[in-house]
Amino acid sequence: MSTPASDPGTGDADRELTMSRAMVDAIASEMRADDEVFYMGEDVQDYGGIFDSTEGLLDEFGRDRVVDAPISETAYVGAAVGAAQAGMRPIAEIMFADFVGVCLDQVYNQMAKNTYMSGGSFNVPMVLTTAVGGEYNDAAQHSQTLYGLFSHLPGMKVVVPSTAYDAKGLMHAAVRDDDPVVYMFHKRLMGIGWMPAPEGPKTPVPDEDYTVPLGEADVKREGEDATVVTLGLHVHRALDAADRLADDGTEVEVIDLRSLVPFDTETVLDSVEKTGRLVVVDEDYQSFGVTGEVIARVAERAPDALEAVERVAIPDVPIPYSRPLEKEVNPQVEDIVAAVESVE
């Protein structure tokens, strides 16, 4: 197994947590520290969140601070915007990122723009959590990540943890941020009982609070021969691909973006200047998204360093239900290996 180049949680972190538990750990700690933090979404009370995002919070904080909302995203996401503008620190959850369509106005026209439109006299210190991702056969309306959509529209910060350590650190940072932060957690990485996670997201997690700064990518594996830039579930697939390629003598550097907005261009540039070969892997639609953005930034700033480039993403098709079809569209470990080999 690849060892993370940035080794988190050593020392006295004896506990390892699933990504969901680490996320909840941070939320609970922030709620203890500040009465103005509350969590609102569908099935977050007794159910503890469909993807375990609020497991155990109801018992500690009660129904006034862990709030089941009616199925009305426009109303409750918009209400979170209003509460944030009144100075509270709400965390509002869109159960599946795919549902943002229902309340997109409140997200991109209100939450993301009110700070700017008011000339900075208003700010929106809220967190918008949402479950993303597929490959468990939930079809076109329940499997998207929509990383590109949220990142493209100006005015909201966007983070995507791939490990428990990052999940806790990014949640602390997100809640304390005075700007709106979209916190996108991958369903397959949460460690849910009915959707087993792959190896990798469960990591040592310190007991005390700490932050992972927004806008900081993480080199999860060092290498000289090629750079793979990715996020979320595909960090772990890239690490698997790197192991296989190492057997053939190719050492791949895997960069986990962790933040889409703000974006850490420098870490990506440093790596491409070292390796010259860039592969970008994204579980979102190929055109007009993350892969194009990463490559454009490198092309703008270090065109001479870039010898070869390949992108691996979901093609521009809705995500199909049937197992062989979904595997065809969602980048697999083999696809990442092939992409690296093609830029060698």
Partner 1 sequence: MVGVNTLREMYEQMVTARHYEERLQEEYLEGKQPAFDISAGPIPGELHLAAGHEAAAVGVCAHLDDDDTVTAPHRPHHVAIAKGVDLEKMTAEIFGRETGLCKGKGGHMHLFDPDVNFACSGIIAQGCPPAVGAAMAADKRNEDSVAVAYLGEGAVDQGAFLESLNLAAVQDLPVVFVVEDNDWAISMPQGRITDVDTIADRADGFDMPGVRVDHDDAVAVYEAARDAVGRARNGNGPTLLDVQVHRRMGHFMGDAEGYRPDADIERAKRLDSIERLADDLRDEEVGDDELDEIRSRAEERVEDAIEWAKDQPEPDAAAAHEDVFVDESTAASGGDD
Partner 2 sequence: MIVDVDSESVWPADADDVDEAVVANWFVREGGAVDAGDTLCEIQIEKVSVDVTAPESGTLAERVVPENGEFRRDDVLARIETD
Q: Which of residues 163-202 bind partner 2 (CB under 8 A)?
A: 191, 193-194, 196, 202
Tell me the β-bridge partners of 38: 90
Which pair of tokens denotes residue 240? 């698997």
CA distances to 169, 171, 180, 299 from 79, rounded to whole Å, are: 26, 21, 14, 41
Stretch that binds partner 2, among 13-21, 137-145, 174-182, 314-322 (CB under 8 A): 13-21
Q: Which of residues 163-192 bind partner 1 (CB under 8 A)?
A: none
Report the greatest alpha carbon distance in the chain. Answer: 58
Over the window 107 to 146, marking each residue x when it contacts partner 1 by CB under 8 A and - when it does not, the resulting string is: ----------------------------xxxxxxxx----
Please give the order of strands across the beta sheet that includes 252-256. 218-221, 252-256, 226-230, 277-285, 308-314
CA 165, CA 339: separation in Å to the nearest integer? 29
Residue 42 interacts, among partner 2, partner 1, none and using kind-specific CB cut-offs from 5 to 8 Å, with: partner 1
Minimum gap (Å) between residue 143 Cβ and partner 1: 9
Minimum gap (Å) between residue 55 Cβ and partner 2: 9
- Residues 12 and 66: beta-carbon distance below 8 Å: no
CA 143, CA 134: separation in Å to the nearest integer? 4
Minimum gap (Å) between residue 41 Cβ and partner 2: 20
Q: Which is nearer to partner 2, 52 or 283 (CB)?
A: 52
Minimum gap (Å) between residue 185 Cβ and partner 2: 16
Q: Which is nearer to partner 2, 119 or 196 (CB)?
A: 196
CA 73, CA 69: separation in Å to the nearest integer? 8
Minimum gap (Å) between residue 128 Cβ and partner 1: 18
Which pair of tokens denotes residue 167? 């999940």
Q: How far apart are the first and last CA of the chain?
A: 23
Helices (H), 135-179: 147-152, 164-176
Catalytic, 236? Answer no
- Assess 193 for contact with partner 1 (CB under 8 A): yes
Question: By CB under 8 A, how many residues form the interface with partner 1?
Answer: 53
Q: Which is nearer to partner 1, 168 or 188 (CB)?
A: 188
Q: Which is nearer to partner 2, 203 or 291 (CB)?
A: 203
Question: What torsion, rounded to 10 degrees, do the Cα atoms 268, 265, 335, 143 define?
Answer: 150
Q: Which is nearer to partner 2, 42 or 55 (CB)?
A: 55
Q: Which is nearer to partner 2, 15 or 176 (CB)?
A: 15
Task: Calculate helix-pair angle for 19-33, 164-176, nearest 10 degrees.
Answer: 30
SS3 333: helix
CA distances to 49, 62, 99, 233, 281 from 134, rounded to whole Å, are: 17, 32, 14, 9, 15
**DSSP state, 257?**
-
Q: Which of residues 19-78 bind partner 2 (CB under 8 A)?
A: 21
Member of 2, 18, 129, 250 binding partner 2 (CB under 8 A): 18
Q: Which of residues 324-343 bind partner 1 (CB under 8 A)?
A: 324-329, 331-332, 335, 338-339
SS3 113: coil
Residue 183 interacts, among partner 2, partner 1, none and using kind-specific CB cut-offs from 5 to 8 Å, with: none
Point out the residues that are catalytic.
142
Could you list the residues that contact partner 2 (CB under 8 A)?
Answer: 14-18, 21, 191, 193-194, 196, 202, 204
Binding site for partner 1 (CB under 8 A): 42-43, 45-47, 50, 68-72, 74-75, 98-99, 101-102, 135-142, 193-196, 286-287, 312-318, 320-329, 331-332, 335, 338-339
